[in-house]
Structure 1
Amino acid sequence: MKAIDILVDEHDYILKMISIAEKILQTDDYLTVDVNHVESIVDFIKNFADKYHHLKEKDILFMEMEKFGMSREGGPIAVMLHEHNEGRDFIKQAETGIELFKQGNISSFLQIQENVLNYCQLLTQHIGKENNILYPMAERILPVNVGEDMTTQFEHINVSTPQNEYHDKYIKMVEELGEIYL
């Protein structure tokens, strides 16, 4: 199902950014960390991973799966939604830490480090569950025409800004940071 392929492709970019974040933040020396790059990673997480990617899951895929018998209140969809919220909490704490760090509060580096790395761990496991459990379930239960409709909706979301600037901006960010850190 092409709609699922789009989501998996987006996961690849998210996982690459997670690798970059881990590479940057798995250090005891905050002086070696470019906080602007960490801020870019948080921007990517908030906007590409959460708003852009999770929108497709929550507002399209999960709703379609509900129509065909999957519950939002329990089971895999409920777990995914809970983990999305848990990830948002980590990122809010990281953002607070970044602001404090930029104001000279060096001890807030630990807050940034802990929350971003916890997010990385959570999302790595989360993506594994989606790619290996939830998405194959969706492919089994959703009719072909629903998959085609979702593909059309996903593609529309991908090009909903002039010249795909929203999508392309974040893909470019991953590639540029990847060249530096990976």
Structure 2
Amino acid sequence: MDAVELMKEEHEYIKRGLNVIRKMSISILESGEIDYEDFKSIIEFIRNYADKHHHNKEESILFKKMEEQIGGMVKAPLSGMFIEHDLGRLFISNLELALQRVKKGDRDSRVDVIANAIGYTDLLTRHIDKEDKAIYSFAKRALSVESLEDVNNACRAVEESAAETNIQDTYMKILKRLEEKWQ
């Protein structure tokens, strides 16, 4: 397993989810209505696939190994990645709160739904680009063969554990259903 290539592949799934969020936001602009169940599903995809599954591998395995082996040279760029992960979590939390307010009758909070949804998609699109073009490439060049193998082995264990509870299949099905509906 090439863990870095797997993470790049996961980015493609996440970008597909971002496209769904964008289309859902456009629908709110056009109709003024919100599909709460689909927002619930895409938030579940983001939290459990993009964050807990994917970002967890970056933060606890790849970035940690980069900090251990490369040290100070990667501290600032990786701090930026951690901050962007946290900012993404804030957007999703605020999106969820805005959805709750609209559901309770605060129609003006629709603008907060759109703002947080689009803020998240913009942040993650730029974030993924930085990881794919800079962070991951640097990791492959700078980490030793042994360190890359450690990353591969640790990610393999995460993938195997996730497969036991059908994480990948569950969230790919959710993504596919949402894409079909919101194309």
Give the TM-score, by structure 1 length. Answer: 0.91
Q: Which residue of 2 aligns with 1:69?
A: 70
Alpha-carbon distance in 1 for matches of 2:72, 2:54: 21
Matched, 1:15 2:15: yes
Shift of 1:32: 4.4
Q: Which residue of 1 aligns with 2:49?
A: 48
What letter is aligned with 2:92?
A: I
What letter is aligned with 2:24?
A: I
Shift of 1:74: 3.9
Q: Which residue of 2 aligns with 1:139?
A: 140
Shift of 1:13: 0.5
Contact 2:4 2:136 in 1 (8 A): yes
Alpha-carbon distance in 1 for matches of 2:129, 2:32: 33
RMSD (Å) for aligned C-alpha atoms:
1.9
Q: Which residue of 1 aligns with 2:40?
A: 39
**Unmatched runs of 5 consecutive residues or more in structure 2:** none
Q: Which residue of 2 aligns with 1:24?
A: 24
Alpha-carbon distance in 1 for matches of 2:156, 2:70: 25
Alpha-carbon distance in 2 for matches of 1:88, 1:51: 11
Shift of 1:35: 1.9
Shift of 1:144: 1.8
CA shift in 2, pair 1:71/1:50, >3 Å: farther
What letter is aligned with 1:4?
A: V
CA shift in 2, pair 1:162/1:76, >3 Å: closer
CA shift in 2, pair 1:111/1:30, >3 Å: farther
What letter is aligned with 2:125?
A: T
Moved more, 101-110 or 169-178: 101-110
Shift of 1:131: 0.1
How many matched pairs? Answer: 182
Deviations 1:35-59 (A, max 9, x none): 2111211111111111111110111
Moved more, 160-169 or 141-150: 160-169
Give the TM-score, by structure 2 length. Answer: 0.91
Moved more, 5-14 or 39-48: 39-48
State the identity as a percent: 32
Q: Which residue of 2 aligns with 1:3?
A: 3
Alpha-carbon distance in 1 for matches of 2:127, 2:91: 14
**Unmatched runs of 5 consecutive residues or more in structure 1:** none
Contact 1:30 1:109 in 2 (8 A): no
Deviations 1:94-120 (A, max 9, x none): 010112222232222211111011000
